[in-house]
């Protein structure tokens, strides 16, 4: 069953060093529209890695999001590093040779183009010979001995502005074609998935359950509870909590709650309750605290705290 974006569930979620990533823009759209998960865009520009205003793919998922997607059967976890090296190993010899050949051909083509451009630049520089240069040639012939000595020097140096016929031929030889290894561009396909990744046939991996994410026991039930009540949740570290809860897509709504998950018997200082209440009220939200009822597994209790106003 493919979605509007051509995404087939379960889709792969890539695990790199205990962080979960989505690389495909279609999967990102699908997850946002169908699963109410926004994640965090983490990709920046290689040239300006400091800028963090306009981030792009890949999308990093919270552990809770990855866990819920796996639990729903919408996604499965792929160990990215392992799948990559496995994919490289299992690449067919013929494919590898064909790829290397294509790369070689492309670099030769590139080199020839570069050489041709250099040749043209040189030609453009030489053809409209100005009168002053011709005069120079004449002078050199007249000076005789001195001119010959200069010619000799030119041979060694390879190129100067004052060119004689012999120097011209030497000059074209002096530009060695650059060895292919110094060229900076190699054709690399935009997506590496098909090339390098050995993706397991999906149901098999779901059964293995080895890579199932293990989110925190205090936050996951609360995350799931709010998710089931149609809230969008995003990481809340920037706002002094665990999650921000939006009543709809964060592009359309302000968040309603700053959420903190607690264990059923985890003690909380009154001062932290007051601080939480202030934190929420200060930004026109409520501070929510909640967790799973240990006596009734599956039941999640939540409490919303706001300043009393007097």
Partner 1 sequence: MTTPTDTTTPHLQDLVQTVHKNLKHLADWSSLVIHSSPSFPRPLITGLPPDPVYIDPDSASTYNAEDKNSPERSQHEWVLPVDLREKWTLRKWAQMFDSLPEGYWGESGGKVRGKRILLAVVSDDSTVVHYVVHDGIVKPRQN
Catalytic residues: 246, 254, 285
Minimum distance of partner 1 from residue 270's CB (angstroms): 5
Residue 255 and residue 244 in contact, taking contact as beta carbons nearer than 8 Å: yes
Q: Which residue has the tokens 């250099």?
A: 118
Q: How many alpha carbons lie under 13 Å from residue 82 in its C-beta half-sphere? A: 9
Q: Which of 61, 83, 226, 279 binds partner 1 (CB under 8 A)?
A: 226
Minimum distance of partner 1 from residue 185's CB (angstroms): 55
Closest-CA residue to 111 (of 171, 176, 178, 172): 178
Can residue 279 be called a binding residue for partner 1 (CB under 8 A)?
Answer: no
Tokens of 168: 């011209």
Of 2-10, 59-67, 126-134, 302-310, the window that binds partner 1 (rule: CB under 8 A) is 302-310
Query: Which secondary-structure segment (H or E) carries 232?
Result: strand 232-235
Nearer to partner 1, 94 or 270 (CB): 270
CA distance 59 to 51: 16
Can residue 253 be called a binding residue for partner 1 (CB under 8 A)?
Answer: no
Q: Which of 140, 151, 163, 306 binds partner 1 (CB under 8 A)?
A: 306
Can residue 266 be called a binding residue for partner 1 (CB under 8 A)?
Answer: yes
Which class for 122: exposed (0-12), middle (13-18), buried (19 or more C-beta within 10 A)?
Answer: middle
Of 79-87, 113-121, 189-197, 274-282, the window that binds partner 1 (rule: CB under 8 A) is 274-282
- Applying CB under 8 A, the residues found at the interface with partner 1 are 226, 229, 247, 256-257, 262-271, 273-274, 277, 280-281, 284-286, 288-291, 293-294, 301-310
């Amino acid at each position: 069953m493919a979605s509007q974006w051509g995404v087939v569930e379960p889709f792969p979620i890539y695990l790199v060093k205990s962080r979960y990533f989505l690389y495909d823009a279609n999967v990102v759209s699908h997850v946002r529209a169908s699963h109410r998960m926004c994640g965090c865009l983490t990709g920046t520009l290689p040239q300006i890695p400091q800028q963090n205003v306009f981030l792009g793919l890949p999308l990093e998922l919270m552990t809770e999001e990855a866990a819920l997607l796996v639990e729903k059967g919408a996604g499965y976890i792929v160990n990215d590093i392992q799948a990559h090296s496995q994919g490289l190993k299992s690449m067919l010899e013929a494919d590898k040779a064909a790829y290397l050949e294509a790369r070689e051909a492309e670099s030769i083509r590139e080199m020839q183009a570069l050489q041709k451009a250099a040749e043209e630049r040189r030609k453009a520089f030489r053809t409209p010979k100005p009168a002053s240069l011709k005069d120079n040639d004449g002078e050199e012939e007249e000076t005789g001995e001195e001119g010959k000595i200069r010619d000799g020097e030119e041979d060694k140096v390879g190129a100067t502005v004052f060119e004689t016929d012999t120097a011209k031929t030497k000059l074209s030889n002096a530009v060695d074609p650059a060895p292919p290894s110094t060229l900076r561009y190699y054709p690399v396909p935009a997506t590496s998935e098909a090339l390098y990744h050995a993706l397991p046939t999906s149901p098999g991996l779901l059964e293995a359950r080895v890579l199932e994410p293990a989110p925190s026991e205090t936050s996951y039930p609360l995350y799931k509870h709010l998710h089931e009540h149609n809230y969008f949740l995003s990481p809340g570290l920037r706002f002094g909590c665990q999650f921000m809860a939006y009543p709809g897509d964060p592009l359309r709504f302000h968040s309603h709650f700053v959420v903190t998950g607690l264990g059923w018997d985890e003690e909380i200082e009154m001062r932290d309750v007051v601080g939480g209440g202030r934190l929420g009220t200060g930004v026109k939200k409520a501070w929510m605290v909640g967790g799973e009822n240990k006596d009734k597994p599956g039941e999640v209790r939540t409490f919303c705290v706001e300043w009393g106003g007097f």
